[in-house]
Amino acid sequence: PYVVTENCIKCKYMDCVEVCPVDCFYEGENMLVIHPDECIDCGVCEPECPAEAIKPDTETGLESWLELNANFAKSWPNVTTKRDALPDAKEWDGKPGKLELLSP
Ligand code: SF4
Ligand code: F3S
């Protein structure tokens, strides 16, 4: 599957939800995740993310992000409609250390 990684946090641009053919994005307060069992690996969301936060899990070092996506996809609500990005998305885009700011 594809996974949402750190740079989504506090940006949440939401362009990804609009293109997913199987509606497998789940929404937290300041991040989205992909349900790994529902993602069909089509790859169309990856280039749509302005924050370049979406990656295929075949990339190295993404094990913990895959686990985080799987865990939150169980409790967060499904999201299928794009809304506005978070207000300070531009300022947070690319900032390091955002994992500790993730709202569970
Ligand atoms: Fe949806 Fe395809 Fe992205 Fe998976 S890779 S989350 S199926 S758009
Ligand atoms: Fe996040 Fe990118 Fe989607 S910032 S909400 S993964 S478009």
Q: pLDDT means per 10 residues in the chain (104 residues)?
A: 98 98 98 98 98 97 98 98 97 98 96
Q: Is the ipTM of this structure higher than 0.85?
A: yes
pTM, rounded to two decimals: 0.97
Query: Measured on CA atoms in the order 10, 61, 48, 17, is the torsion positive or negative?
Result: negative
CA angle 31, 37, 40 (to 5 degrees): 90
Q: What is the CA radius of gyration of the chain?
A: 12
| Ligand 1 pocket: which of 8, 19, 37, 40 to mutate (most atoms within 8 A of CB) | 40
Class for domain 2-81, per CATH? alpha beta
Domain boundaries, the chain: 2-81
Instruction: Report CA(16)–ligand 2 centroid distance (Å).
Output: 6
**Tokens in use for 40?**
């069909």
Pocket test of ligand 2: the residue of 2, 3, 11 to mutate, having most ligand atoms within 8 Å of its CB, is 11
Q: Which of 78, 81, 71 is nearest to 104 (CA)?
A: 71
- The alpha carbon of 33 and the centre of ligand 2 are apart by a number of angstroms equal to 9
Question: Which residues, judged by CB distance below 6 Å to any ligand atom, belong to the binding site of ligand 1?
Answer: 2, 19-20, 22, 24, 34, 39-45
Question: What does the alpha-carbon distance between residue 26 and residue 24 come to, in Å, rounded to a whole number?
Answer: 7
CA atoms of 21 and 87, how far apart (whole Å): 27
